[in-house]
A = this chain, B = another copy of it.
Amino acid sequence: MDQVRIAGVGQTPFGKYLGVGVRTMAEQALDAALLDAQMEVGRIGAVYFANALSGLITGQETIRGQVALRHTGLMGKPIINVDNACASGSTALHLAWSAVASGQVDVALAIGSEQLTHADKAVTFAAYASGVDVEEREAQDRHAPSDRSVFMDIYAERTRRYMQRSGATPRDFAMITVKSRQAASLNPLAQFRTPTTIEEVLSARMVSEPLTLPMCSPIADGAAAVILVRGAASAASRRSVYVRSSTLVSANADGVDPVCAVRAANGAYEKAGIGPHDIHVAEVHDASAPAEIMLYEHLGFAGRNEGVRLVRDGVTSVGGSLPVNPGGGLLSRGHPVGATGLAQIVELTTQLRGEAGARQRHGAKVALAECSGGNLGLDSAVAAVTILSV
């Protein structure tokens, strides 16, 4: 496998941008990534386009990438449309990395764009609800509430199990949201940039016991793009960032341990020849606040039932020794599904370049991104882990 370098990254602001559209946001993220890479669009040899839910939001069910990119210089190139729910962007990155690492192309683009807001909020929630086995869901519950995401009920159930075994409390989860808003206040591209307090989070509207609204990732629109190239930079004017490994797995057939995030992480560590203790900064799939704490354990940052310690001790806050979601995570940067996995890479690249300003993890040399997607049984349907380093 050849060395794969991140030549450029780009991201739109995340937030509610009703009517802006997948195309406009994709164009903006592409332009930003090309500018960052100081590259002409013609050098890109293959495009991996991530979008999870447009079919149910706008009716653009197929050829989403070709439609979004039709007015760019990418037309004519191979454009591969991929989906893996919340891990769609990570899947695009995985394929782009594979194409470059294996020598198929010299330059590959992974790009994700998602418009989730819709004039009718029920349309958005219905789209989210497709991230499970739809047939099973319909058979189990023909009276499912349509005014909220089925996912938060799933996360809530996982959280209650986790609380029982670990002793974690709603206060711990609120601390995750507080930490997340604090980080996002330092990220101009984030959706929620106003700091909050534990009390505010705990007293907010209950979505699904014990998850209050600020413990749940919001609906967002946005796009992100990552350009990968083969080999080292010829004249590095800034610190070069490399993809050390990328692992993608699906849930086990029985949907039980080891959950797919654990298997994806173990695979990525092994291929990169490192372990959890080598990671300086991470971006993880905090679709709900408790999920981040569980992921500390899945990724090996903490032992079983010890994830809460990291947040209680401030280890994973901006300024801590292992900042997690310094860009704000899904909770506060926002979660435009197909773009999320690539926004993680944008943040970690910025961190490894030492360009993250007030939210910089000083001396960051190795970073990890984890993204899960969908749900099958008791596990996510898919998980992807990417390890980057300078």
Contacts and interface: CB of A to CB of B under 8 A. Distances in A.
Interface string A48-82: 00001101101111111011001111111111111
Contact of A56 (B55, B64, B76, B250): B55
A247 B34 CA distance: 25
A66 B250 contact: yes
Nearest to A105: B98
Contacts of A130: 55, 59-62
Contact of A79 (B21, B79, B88, B250): B250
Contacts of A241: none
B76 A382 contact: no
A116 interface: no
Contact of A70 (B55, B74, B98, B133): B133
Most B C-beta atoms less than 10 A away, residue of A52, A102, A130: A130
Contacts of A126: 59
Interface string A315-346: 00000000000000000000000000000000
Interface stretch (A204-212, A351-359, A373-381): A373-381
Contacts of A260: 76
A134 interface: yes
B133 A77 contact: no
Nearest to A60: B134
Contact of A76 (B78, B88, B102, B249): B249
A131 interface: yes
A251 interface: yes
A360 interface: no
Interface of A: 21, 23, 52-53, 55-56, 58-64, 66-67, 70-85, 88, 91, 94-95, 98-99, 102-104, 126-127, 129-135, 248-253, 260, 263, 373-374, 376, 381-382
